[in-house]
């Protein structure tokens, strides 16, 4: 198959246009395999509603829909159905980089037009797309003017009290540990006043998305959104007694949530639905609900890479970002030392944080506007010299722009900063938004910031710059449309393992993240810590083994994967060979086994080399997993290098006990991987 060829297998076929009676239920649509169905209807004398069935049983019960619009009555009652139509769509599209090369996108669509009764009726359309692996729906409003949306009242009525893996509905941060409780026990307000979050606002009992659930019948559900543009992010308000959720848009200044032009359509509200936990990860629902690539081929400036950084230095407190501290990390000499180590290990990128002026006044100050300068290096850092030294050694510099949550300052400088990057041949930037947003009253996940993050992404594209935002708005699959949106943070990352006063990320953290946060998109978690006892720098240890850490290169997907530790901590550790070998761009990805919060075993095939890699992580329980190598091609031999927890390994025992075994394998062979408590295993299968 030609890798740059886009396959359109079918277009839109208008199947029906009908005039249903205003009595419920009026219209329905099924997934291509017929297992999922959605009915739309009117309830309580004129409220638009939907319900979702799986194999004929109700999964999401009758749930109403509507919008609070400033200066107008609630739009979502006293309505009739004026018309409805259905269509089918199927295509296969190619990811320029990603978890897999070819993506199938097949859905059945239903559009239902609602109209108010009475004089001067307003109208509203609900569009549902039903896939085999879930569904998405959105609001569409006609018109020519603009409106202010005060809130969106989209309900999700559950039919049982499932297990839920949730973080609180924080308007400023996703950097919470996941909680595992029954739905009826969700208590987000108890997570307020987190000691390590300097920007956090949890106004009520709500959760952030993706939020993943498992019913007692073994059905997995995950609620999120797709194609979030020019609108606030959602939180889902929880009614523990009624077992239902309702959207609450993240607010902004003066309690205004969304100012939108007409005609308008909302982002997609999405529900992943699966029989197997791993199917959530294999699903492409989030990207499929986005528009096709608008940038074309960007491989002249971005292809996936592994990178190191002048980064852990500061989180360990060995160095500092600011020059005045007297222990400035980003020096020309240190950058060259890092480039030498990266280059010797085939690592093609180096992130340098703390290179530019402003860090003396970033965290803990209220007046952070105009402080950072994104073109002026500190005196001990020669940007041009570092870039050219990197080029000589095949290591590209990754730019760093910490905005300290002063987006107006960044807006003013963005274009100049990206133009400088383009001139120097720097094609990726990590941005950061630490702290409460200025102006006060705006939030990281509100409409104003959603617009800002996207402005940076578009300005980046114009200057051939790929963007990796920290403290971002959640990913919603926009990378399909703008593939220079490469990754983001938006979770509790590696950094918490060093300075968190709660003693770092939990042992089970990364057995939950792939089934929750990762459903939204690539994660810059920044793995690669070899020295897991952080003394003398910090009085902390990590809560998982080195085998677990190596497995993250397979388990956590990102087109930019960090090797976060310092060269002197890695040295010539034999585990580094796995990182040298491991792919970062994939032909296909498979979840071999897993349960949310317990364990996960994944296999991925690298593009071009067709080498395979397996990663397995477990929670605080030791277990043995069998990996049947059915996925290997027929008739080929592979060299398997197994990086396994050693006999003393464990989160309470030895964090770095690693044994390495090598053998020849072929399709059908079975590998047995022993995972210690908090352990993991990484396997490279190199084609001979
Ligand atoms: C928070 C980011 O997550 C981290 O990676 C970065 O080092 C600091 N901000 C400084 O920008
Ligand atoms: Ca962060």
Residues 6+ apart with CB under 8 A from 454: 229, 230, 478
Give the pLDDT of residue 254.
Answer: 83
Tell me what the mean pLDDT of segment 189-209 comes to: 94
β-strand pairing of 466-469 with 485-488: parallel
Q: Which atom of ligand 1 is nearest to the CA of 314?
A: 7
Reply yes or no on whether the pLDDT at 615 is more than 50.
yes
Q: How far is the CA of 380 from the centre of ligand 1 (A)?
A: 21
pLDDT (0 to 100) of residue 13: 33
Q: What pLDDT score does 427 carry? A: 98
Q: Tell how far the Cα of 563 is from the centroid of ligand 1, in angstroms.
A: 15
Contact between residue 618 and residue 630 where contact means Cβ atoms under 8 Å apart: no
* pLDDT over threshold 90, residue 15: no
Mean pLDDT for the chain?
A: 95
| Ligand 1 probe mutation, 174, 404, 434, 497, most atoms within 8 A of CB | 434
| Residue 406 pLDDT > 70 | yes
Predicted confidence (pLDDT) at residue 18 exceeds the cutoff of 50: no
Ligand 1, from 196, 312, 470, 472: best to mutate by most atoms within 8 Å of Cβ?
470
Å from CA of 564 to ligand 2 middle: 14
Tens of pLDDT, residue by residue over 236-261, are 999 999 999 999 999 999 888 999 99
Gap between the Cα atoms of 451 and 107, Å rounded: 29
What confidence score (pLDDT) does residue 687 get? 97
Q: Are the CB atoms for 36 and 53 separated by under 8 Å?
A: yes
Q: Which ligand is nearest to the CA of 315?
A: 1
Q: How far apart are CA 362 and CA 322, in angstroms?
A: 9
How many angstroms does the Cα of residue 492 sit away from the middle of ligand 2? 7
The predicted model gives 324-347 an average pLDDT of 98
CA of 360 to the centre of ligand 2 (A): 19
pLDDT at site 8: 35
Q: Is 495 a catalytic residue?
A: yes
**Helix 447-462 to helix 407-424 angle, to the nearest 10 degrees?**
10
Give me the sign of the Cα torsion angle 560, 565, 569, 573: negative
| 321, 330, 353, 355, best to mutate for ligand 1 pocket (most atoms within 8 Å of CB) | 353
- pLDDT given at position 163: 98
pTM, to two decimals: 0.96
Ligand nearest to the CA of 471: 2
For residue 321, give the ligand 1 atom closest to its CA.
Answer: 10
Task: With beta carbons less than 8 A apart as the criterion, state whether 195 and 275 touch.
Answer: no
Between the CA of 537 and the centroid of ligand 1 the distance, in Å, is 18
Instruction: Using the atom order of ligand 1, give the atom closest to the CA of residue 400.
Output: 11
Other beta carbons within 10 Å of 605: 22
Which residue has its alpha carbon closest to ligand 1 atom 8? 432
Domains of the chain, CATH where assigned:
3-288 (2.70.98.10), 291-490 (3.20.20.70), 493-554+562-688 (3.20.20.70)
Q: Is the pLDDT of residue 266 over 50?
A: yes
The closest residue, in CA terms, to atom 11 on ligand 1 is 402
Q: Please count the CA atoms within 13 angstroms of the CA of 85 that sit on its side-chain side.
A: 9
Question: Is the pLDDT confidence value at 12 over 80?
Answer: no
**pLDDT tops 50 at residue 4:** no
Q: Give residue 36 CA to ligand 1 midpoint distance, Å.
A: 42
Chain segment 119-178, per-residue pLDDT in tens = 999 999 999 999 999 999 999 999 999 999 999 999 999 999 999 999 999 999 999 999
Q: Looking up tokens 């890699």, which residue turns up?
A: 613
Q: Which atom of ligand 1 is nearest to the CA of 489?
A: 3
CA of 473 to the centre of ligand 2 (A): 12
What is the pLDDT at residue 468? 99
Residue pair 531/542 in contact by the 8 Å Cβ criterion: no
User: What pLDDT, on the 0 to 100 scale, is given for residue 7?
Assistant: 37
Ligand that comes closest to the CA of residue 492:
2
Question: Which residue has a Cα nearest atom 7 of ligand 1?
Answer: 311
Phi, psi of 69 (to 5 degrees): -115, 135
Q: Is the pLDDT of residue 103 over 60?
A: yes
pLDDT of residue 317: 98
**What is the number of the ligand closest to the CA of 197?**
2
Question: Is pLDDT above 90 for 21?
Answer: no
Question: Which position among 246, 348, 495, 549 bears the catalytic label?
Answer: 495
**pLDDT in the model for residue 688:** 94
Query: Cβ distance 631 to 613 under 8 Å?
Result: no
Tell me: pLDDT of 575 over 90: yes
Secondary structure in 3-state letters for 554-618: HHCCCCEEECCCCHHHHCCCCCHHHHHHCCCCEEEEEEEEEECCCEEEEEEEECCCCCEEEEEEE
Counting residues of the chain whose pLDDT is more than 90, the rounded percentage is 94
C-alpha of residue 488 to centroid of ligand 2, in Å? 10
Kindly report, residue by residue over 519-543, the tens digit of the pLDDT.
999 999 999 999 999 999 999 999 9
* Residue 493 Cα: closest atom of ligand 1: 3
Angular region, 321: left φ>0, alpha ψ -120 to 50, beta rest: alpha
Q: Which atom of ligand 1 is nearest to the CA of 311?
A: 7
Ligand 1, residues at Cβ distance < 6 Å: 311, 353, 402, 432, 434, 470, 489, 493, 495
Return the ligand number nearest the Cα of 405: 1
- Per-residue pLDDT at 255: 83
Q: Is residue 567 pLDDT above 80, yes or no?
A: yes
Specify the range with the lowest mean pLDDT, choosing from 10-14, 58-62, 65-69. Answer: 10-14
Which of 312, 359, 432 for mutating ligand 1's site (highest number of atoms within 8 Å of CB)? 432
Cis geometry, peptide bond prior to residue 84 (ω within 30 degrees of 0): no
**pLDDT value at 20 more than 80:** no
Residue with tokens 């409780």: 181
Q: For residue range 270-310, what is the model confidence (pLDDT) as tens digits?
A: 999 999 999 999 999 999 999 999 999 999 999 999 999 99
Instruction: Assess whether pLDDT exceeds 60 at residue 24.
Output: no
């Amino acid at each position: 198959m030609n890798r740059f060829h886009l396959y359109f297998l079918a277009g839109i076929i208008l199947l029906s246009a009908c005039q249903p009676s205003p009595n419920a239920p009026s219209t329905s649509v099924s997934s291509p395999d017929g297992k999922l169905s959605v009915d739309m209807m009117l309830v309580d004398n004129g409220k638009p509603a939907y319900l979702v069935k799986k194999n004929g049983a109700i999964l999401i019960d009758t749930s109403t829909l509507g919008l609070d619009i400033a200066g107008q009555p609630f739009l979502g009652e006293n309505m009739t159905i004026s018309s409805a139509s259905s269509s089918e769509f199927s295509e296969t599209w190619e990811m320029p980089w990603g978890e897999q090369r070819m993506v199938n996108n097949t859905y059945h669509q239903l559009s239902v037009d609602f109209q108010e009764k009475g004089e001067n009726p307003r109208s509203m359309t609900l569009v549902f797309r039903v896939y085999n692996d879930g569904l998405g729906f959105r609001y569409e409003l006609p018109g020519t003017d603009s409106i202010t949306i005060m809130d969106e009242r989209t309900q999700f009525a559950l039919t049982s009290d499932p297990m839920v893996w949730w973080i609180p509905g924080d308007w400023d941060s996703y950097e919470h540990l996941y909680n595992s409780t029954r739905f009826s026990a969700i208590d987000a307000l108890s997570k307020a006043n987190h000691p390590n979050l300097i920007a956090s606002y949890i106004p009520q009992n709500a959760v952030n998305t993706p939020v993943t659930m498992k019913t007692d019948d073994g059905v997995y559900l995950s609620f999120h959104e797709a194609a979030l543009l020019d609108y606030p992010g959602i939180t889902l308000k929880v009614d523990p007694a009624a077992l239902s959720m309702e959207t609450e848009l993240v607010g902004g200044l003066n309690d205004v949530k969304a100012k939108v032009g007409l005609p308008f359509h909302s982002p997609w509200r999405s529900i992943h639905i699966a029989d197997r936990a791993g199917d959530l990860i294999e699903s492409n629902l989030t990207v499929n609900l986005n528009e096709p690539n608008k940038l074309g081929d960007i491989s002249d400036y971005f292809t996936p890479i592994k990178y190191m950084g002048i980064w852990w230095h500061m989180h360990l407190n060995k160095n500092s970002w600011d020059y005045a501290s007297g222990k400035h990390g980003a020096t020309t000499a240190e950058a060259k030392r890092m480039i030498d180590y990266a280059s010797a290990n085939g690592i093609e990128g180096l992130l340098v944080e703390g290179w530019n002026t402003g860090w003396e006044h970033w965290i803990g100050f209220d007046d952070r506007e105009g402080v950072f300068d994104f073109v002026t290096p500190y005196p001990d850092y020669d940007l041009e010299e570092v870039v050219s030294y990197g080029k000589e050694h095949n290591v590209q510099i990754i730019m760093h722009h910490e905005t300290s949550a002063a987006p107006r300052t960044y807006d003013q400088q963005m274009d100049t900063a990206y133009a400088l990057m383009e001139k120097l041949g720097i094609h990726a930037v990590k941005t950061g938004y630490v702290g409460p947003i200025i102006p006060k009253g705006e939030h990281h996940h509100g409409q104003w910031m959603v617009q800002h993050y996207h402005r940076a992404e578009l300005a980046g594209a114009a200057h051939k710059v790929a963007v990796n935002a920290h403290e971002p708005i959640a990913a919603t699959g926009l990378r399909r449309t703008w593939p220079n949106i490469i990754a983001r943070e938006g979770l509790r990352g590696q950094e918490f393992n060093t300075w968190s006063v709660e003693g770092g990320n939990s042992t089970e953290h990364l057995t939950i993240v792939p089934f929750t946060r990762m459903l939204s998109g690539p994660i810059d978690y920044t793995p690669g810590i070899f020295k897991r006892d952080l003394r003398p720098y910090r009085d902390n240890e990590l809560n998982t083994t080195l085998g677990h850490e190596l497995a993250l290169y397979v388990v956590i997907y990102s087109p930019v994967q960090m090797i976060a530790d310092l060269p002197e901590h890695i040295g010539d550790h034999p585990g580094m060979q796995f990182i040298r070998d491991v792919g970062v761009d994939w032909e296909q990805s498979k979840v071999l086994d897993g349960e949310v919060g317990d364990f996960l075993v994944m296999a991925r095939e690298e593009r071009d080399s067709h080498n395979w890699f397996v990663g397995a992580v477990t929670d605080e329980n030791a277990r043995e997993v069998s990996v049947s190598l059915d996925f290997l091609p027929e008739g080929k031999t592979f060299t398997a290098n197994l990086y396994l927890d050693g006999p003393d390994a464990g989160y309470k025992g030895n964090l770095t006990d690693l044994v390495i075994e090598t053998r020849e394998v072929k399709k059908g062979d079975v590998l047995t991987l022993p995972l210690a408590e908090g352990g993991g295993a990484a396997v490279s299968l190199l084609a001979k």
